[in-house]
Amino acid sequence: MEKARKKQVLLFHCVEYEDLARRVAAQSDCIQLQSINWRSFDDGFPNLFINNAQDIRGQHVAFLASFSSPAVIFEQLSVIFALPRLFVASFTLVLPFFPTGSFERMEEEGDVATAFTMARILSNIPVSRGGPTSLVIYDIHALQERFYFSDQVLPCFETGIPLLKQRLNELPDADNISIAFPDDGAWKRFYKQLQHFPMVREGDKRIVRLKEGNPEGRHVVIVDDLVQSGGTLIECQKVLSAHGAAKVSAYVTHAVFPKMSYQRFTHKDDENSEKAFTYFWITDSCPLTVKAIANKAPFEVLSLAGSIADALQI
């Protein structure tokens, strides 16, 4: 059977993701970077221009978006809604981090589930000549959020876990790794992808305790989809160390770290200072964090570039 030819993809990107876009393009000769003039009028509203707009007619087009704050969402949505209308053959939106994903529930009347709001907005992206927009998201907070999107878009949920597994296999103590989950939500989300590792489960986020498994003498890696302040991870590390873990590391796909909270984890220059986490692996889904933690132990960035390049061929 003849192998299908790869698509030639024209990749646009927001300002924050310039470095990641270049890494994605470096993965394949089939991906060509394109440019947008990100300007503003004197009143602060966007003054945008898609370069070579006529040349993208009939081409497969993708946009790499970072919704890192409400301030940058509108200008990117303006481009996202414009590109499919330029007679492109297909349109793919790559949104590695779906930022409102953890706000998917209503606990009392009056709560606003902004995950649903964002999904409704993205569901209204215009249809291209090739059909609905393909929407690529990594490790969305709750898998049931796929049902928040209408049939106008085709959500494709990817994961950063293969990057973690590859890195763990490279460690000198790869045969002594156990996986820990900080709560039942993380366990349900990831355990099937990591089930060949011994596992440790911890309890409710508000009462961190060992639920099952034995970390004694093991290099335990705590796995979750995202981190904000990092308080839960720190409490988990303390519990695991108290139960005899030889080393504790962490992995999150999305390192949000508002208000520079990553500083709680950085190793100090003082040799006598406590280094609670041996490694802290993150992906480059949150570009502002990636720049902030550059060359700061214990952080190590596992790039999504290769996975995104593959997703653009779906």
In a domain, 213, yes or no: yes
Say what percent of the chain tops pLDDT 70. Answer: 93
Domain that holds residue 76: 9-158
Amino acid in position 31: I
Verify that 148 and 177 share a domain, yes or no.
Answer: no
Q: Which of residues 136, 158, 180 is at a domain's end?
A: 158
Verify that 171 and 246 share a domain, yes or no.
Answer: yes
Tens digits of per-residue pLDDT, 173-209?
A: 999 999 999 988 898 889 999 989 988 876 655 445 5
Say what percent of the chain tops pLDDT 90. Answer: 81
Verify that 53 and 102 share a domain, yes or no.
Answer: yes
The token duo for 303 is 């790039």
Tens digits of per-residue pLDDT, 60-98?
A: 999 999 999 999 999 999 999 999 999 999 999 999 999
Verify that 197 and 117 share a domain, yes or no.
Answer: no
Q: Does residue 271 surpass a pLDDT of 60?
A: no
- Write the CA distances from 3 to 6, 59, 306, integer angstroms: 9, 21, 20
Q: Does residue 273 surpass a pLDDT of 50?
A: no
pTM of the model: 0.93
- Mean residue pLDDT across the chain: 92
In a domain, 313, yes or no: no
pLDDT band, residue 270 (cuts 50/70/90): low
Q: Which of residues 96, 127, 158 is at a domain's end?
A: 158
E strands of the chain, at which residues? 9-13, 31-33, 36-40, 46-50, 60-64, 90-94, 133-138, 153-158, 177-181, 199-202, 210-212, 219-227, 247-255, 280-283, 299-302
Query: 302 φ, ψ to 5°?
Result: -105, 110
Indicate which CATH number applies to the domain containing 74.
3.40.50.2020
| Contact in structure between 9 and 61 (CB atoms under 8 Å) | yes
In a domain, 123, yes or no: yes
Residue 201 bridge partners (DSSP): 181, 212
Q: Which of residues 132, 158, 184 is at a domain's end?
A: 158
In a domain, 282, yes or no: yes
Burial class of 230 by CB neighbour count within 10 A (0 to 12, 13 to 18, 19+): buried
Verify that 153 and 167 share a domain, yes or no.
Answer: no
Tens digits of per-residue pLDDT, 99-145?
A: 998 877 777 899 998 999 999 999 999 999 999 999 999 999 888 88
pLDDT of amino acid 88: 98
In a domain, 295, yes or no: yes
In a domain, 148, yes or no: yes
pLDDT of amino acid 69: 94
